[in-house]
Amino acid sequence: MKPTLVILAAGMGSRYGGLKQLDEIGPNGEAIIDYSLYDAIRAGFGKVVFIIRRDFEEAFRSRFESKLAGKIDVEYVFQELNDLPEGYSVPPGRQKPWGTAHAILSARKVVKTPFAAINADDFYGLEAYETVVGFLTSAASENNWAMVGYRMDKTLSENGTVSRGLCITDKNQNLKSIEELTKIGIDQQGIYYSNNGERKVLQCDETVSMNFWGFHPEIFSYLEKGFVGFLDKEGNEPKSEFYIPMHVGDLINSGKINVKVLTCNASWFGVTYREDKPVVVEKIKQLINSGKYPATLWV
């Protein structure tokens, strides 16, 4: 059975503004998500699950249903605040979604195969999809998962600082922990991040997580238990979020799972800031000119 692709598309992108998941960057109005789907189909995924908000449904269906018909199975899942364990309720004043781990948990009823989870607004590259499909079809198990790692210097924005998860691995490329670095930037002196206001230098070739994960459906059992613990501890904080990297890190530390860091030569880029869009448009144009993508994706 072919693996499933889960696309996290319920967020708005506060730094970018608007529904950047569908912002047009290709020559015929394609969004980054179109290229993700095109690569996923080529790599061998058999189903895609869009995790969205209910008010995004019409926009997503009108954009993708005809394009994807006959190419890949499609499901839509809604990340909703009231999707909570029995006995829990949304606290007063809570408007922010519960985070990426809760988003993935939202797909528990429709994902039955090993699956990859990605952000809707990140371009990961065909090789990344091929690499993770190879893992999902041959090595994924209840306690053996994966993450696609990228070089730090290939994940930055020239238009502002970013946050990245620095991957700490053992000699066998098993993930030991993810250290969240904030305010990572690049200037004439190199790549740096801010640690309590102090400038710290990076080496450029560090491996970072861009939230491209390979999971077994057993993760849903772990997420259900983890979400209860999160709600008990932080559920009343109006902006708290249940994040995938943090929960996976907890599972690694407890010895319950192993996560293999997969590496490949794929290029990553995204639109963290609106000023990033012209750069992304140009990179897509270069990929088309080099023959890696057709000028018109969907025929």
> In the chain, what are the domain boundaries?
4-150+209-289
Two tokens, residue 180:
């969240």
Considering only CA atoms, give the Rg of the chain.
19
Q: Is 28 exposed, middle or buried (0-12, 13-18, 19+ CB in 10 A)?
A: exposed
List the alpha helices (DSSP H) in 69-171: 100-105, 126-138
Residue 203 pLDDT = 84
Residue 280 pLDDT = 92
Instruction: State the Cα–Cα distance between residues 263 and 150, nearest whole angstrom.
Output: 7
Q: In 3D, which of 247, 241, 246 has the Cα closest to residue 94? A: 241
Q: From the CB of residue 271, how many other CB atoms can be counted at a distance below 10 Å?
A: 26
Q: In 3D, which of 123, 124, 120, 126 has the Cα closest to residue 60? A: 120
Do the beta carbons of residue 148 and residue 131 sit within 8 Å? yes
Two tokens, residue 287:
């990929």
Instruction: State the Cα–Cα distance between residues 84 and 74, nearest whole angstrom.
Output: 25
Residue 160 pLDDT = 80
Question: What does pTM read for this prediction?
Answer: 0.92
Q: Distance between alpha carbon 197 and the CA centroid of its chain, in Å? A: 28
Do the beta carbons of residue 105 and residue 202 sit within 8 Å? no
Residue 176 pLDDT = 95
Tokens 């249903």 correspond to: 65
User: What DSSP letter does each residue of 53-82 carry, written as one string?
Assistant: -GGGHHHHHHHHHHHHTTTSEEEEEE--TT
Do the beta carbons of residue 227 and residue 105 sit within 8 Å? yes
Two tokens, residue 24:
């047009």
Instruction: State the Cα–Cα distance between residues 239 and 78, nearest whole angstrom.
Output: 20
Residue 12 pLDDT = 52
Q: From the CB of residue 232, how many other CB atoms can be counted at a distance below 10 Å?
A: 10
One of 3.90.550.10, 3.30.1130.10, 3.90.320.10, 1.10.8.60 is the CATH number of 4-150+209-289, namely 3.90.550.10
Q: In 3D, which of 246, 234, 239, 210 has the Cα closest to residue 101? A: 246
Strands 122-123 and 269-270, by their bridges, are antiparallel
Per-residue pLDDT tens listing for the chain (299 residues)? 899 999 999 875 444 445 667 889 999 999 999 999 999 999 999 999 999 999 889 989 999 999 999 999 999 999 999 999 999 999 998 988 899 999 999 999 999 999 999 999 899 999 999 999 999 999 999 999 999 999 888 888 777 888 888 899 999 999 999 888 888 888 888 888 887 777 888 888 889 899 999 999 999 999 999 999 999 999 999 989 999 988 999 999 999 999 999 988 787 888 877 888 998 999 999 999 999 999 999 98
In degrees rounded to 5, what are phi and psi of residue 278? -60, -35
